[in-house]
C-alpha cells in the first residue's frame, strides 16, 4: 500500500449505516501512520455492545484503542507525530456531553481547539441527523440542533470534509489523499 499524506483534520459524516466509519478507517490505513482509535461510545445495552464488537471486527488489528466518552480534548492533546487519530464518533461524544448536563458550547469549543492543536492528523466521524422529521420532544430537538451546530463548526475547521452515502464518498471540501 502506498502511504498517503492526510490533512491535519478530516471530517467524515453521513447517516447511520452509511459506511462512514469504514471509509474513515481506510483513510487512516492509507496514511501508513500508527493508528489510534478514540472510541466515544458508552456501552449501555446488548445492542450497543454488538455494534461496538462489529466495529472492532471491521477495523481489524493494528489499532491502539482508547475508550473515552467525554474528555476527547485530553486524548487529542496527548497524541504524537507519527500517529493518526480516528475519533469515532463526534455525535456519540456530543450525546455523552448532553447526558452529562455539561456546558455544550464550552465542550464543543474545547474539542475543536484540541483538534486544531493536535500533533497528528485527525479523522473525525460524525452523523448527519438533521435530514429527517422534526423530533417531537425538546431533548431530541436540542440534540439535533447542537449536532448540526457542531457539524457546521467542525466542517468549517476541517481541511477535508467527506459525506458518505450508501458507502459512496462525496468530497464536500478539500481533496482526498
The three cell numbers locating residue 103: 456546558
Instruction: Tell me the backbone φ, ψ of residue 75, rounded to 5 degrees.
Output: -65, -45
Instruction: State yes or no: cis peptide before 95, omega within 30 of 0.
Output: no
Q: Are 20 and 10 in contact (CB under 8 A)?
A: no
The three cell numbers locating residue 69: 466518552
Between CA 6 and CA 150 the distance in angstroms is 22
Residues 6+ apart with CB under 8 A from 140: none
**Which residue out of 55, 59, 79, 163 is catalytically annotated?**
55
Closest CA to 12 of 28, 30, 24: 24
163 is catalytic: no
Active site members: 55
Amino acid at each position: 500500500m502506498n502511504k498517503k499524506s492526510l490533512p491535519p483534520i478530516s471530517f467524515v459524516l453521513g447517516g447511520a449505516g452509511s459506511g462512514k466509519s469504514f471509509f474513515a478507517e481506510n483513510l487512516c490505513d492509507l496514511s501508513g501512520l500508527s493508528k489510534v482509535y478514540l472510541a466515544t461510545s458508552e456501552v449501555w445495552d446488548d445492542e450497543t455492545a454488538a455494534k461496538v464488537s462489529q466495529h472492532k471486527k471491521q477495523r481489524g488489528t493494528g489499532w491502539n484503542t482508547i475508550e473515552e466518552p467525554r474528555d476527547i480534548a485530553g486524548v487529542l492533546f496527548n497524541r504524537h507525530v507519527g500517529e493518526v487519530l480516528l475519533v469515532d464518533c463526534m455525535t456519540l461524544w456530543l450525546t455523552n456531553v448532553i447526558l452529562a448536563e455539561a456546558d455544550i458550547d464550552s465542550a464543543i469549543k474545547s474539542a475543536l481547539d484540541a483538534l486544531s492543536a493536535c500533533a497528528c492528523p485527525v479523522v473525525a466521524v460524525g452523523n448527519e441527523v438533521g435530514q429527517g422529521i422534526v423530533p417531537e420532544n425538546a431533548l431530541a430537538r436540542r440534540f439535533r440542533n447542537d449536532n448540526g451546530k457542531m457539524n457546521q463548526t467542525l466542517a468549517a475547521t476541517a481541511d477535508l470534509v467527506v459525506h458518505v452515502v450508501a458507502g459512496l464518498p462525496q468530497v464536500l471540501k478539500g481533496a482526498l489523499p
